[in-house]
A = this chain, B = another copy of it.
């Protein structure tokens, strides 16, 4: 099974690496990090680059695509991947996204008429692309599966493995990455965090987005 993860300058690393880690453990998985051009892609923090080993021309019919988000999803570095997303989507088994990767799926026309999710701060933007925003952590609409912000891609990937290969492999991979989450607080979604904190995080994130940061 060929799994393509398109990356671009301004990507959020955990959006990509969260699902990559479990998906790469499917026996026979051929995981390819794909760029509009191959080579290093600078993450949104500018503290790290992930290397795209393949260009989009080299990955023409992946079985699965996982589109990560990040501030680059709202600028041309992300938009450079739209023709490829449009071209490969008709023949995928699963077309998926994490965080604001769903904005790229939206811009590519994949989400029109579908329920979908994204990072909670950007969820309403999905309406611009004809999608119906959902507050679920993982939203399944046929072969199109979108996940919420940043860390949600781990949950989505385990669900994909379950759908594709069954419960036993999904559990085995969960155990192999010791995914027994124990966050020190229960503040990971806007439904659970105090309103004041939600507004603070929204303001900080939107401020950075306005700076192009």
Q: A-side interface residues toward B, CB under 8 Å?
A: 12-14, 17-18, 20-21, 24, 30-33, 40, 45, 47-51, 53, 99, 119-120, 137-138, 148-152, 154-155, 158-159, 162, 167-168, 170-172, 174-190, 192-193, 197-198, 200-201, 204-205
Contact = CB atoms under 8 A, between A and B. Distances in A.
Contact of A180 (B20, B50, B171, B188): B188
A178 B13 contact: no
A188 B181 CA distance: 8
Given A158-B183, A184-B155, A187-B175, A47 B32 contact: yes
A182 B137 contact: yes
Contacts of A158: 183-185
Q: Which of A120, A167, A179 has the most CB of B within 10 A?
A: A179
A124 to B, nearest CB: 15
A79 B117 CA distance: 43
Contacts of A119: 178
A157 to B, nearest CB: 10
Report which residue of A13, A149, A178, A190 has the largest number of chain B beta carbons within 10 angstroms of its beta carbon: A178
A83 to B, nearest CB: 23
B189 A175 contact: yes
Given A45-B31, A51-B49, A183 B205 contact: no
A33 B159 CA distance: 31
Contact of A171 (B13, B32, B185): B185
19 contacts: A12-B21, A13-B17, A14-B20, A14-B177, A17-B17, A21-B150, A24-B45, A24-B47, A33-B48, A40-B40, A40-B51, A49-B50, A148-B180, A149-B178, A150-B178, A151-B178, A175-B197, A180-B188, A180-B192
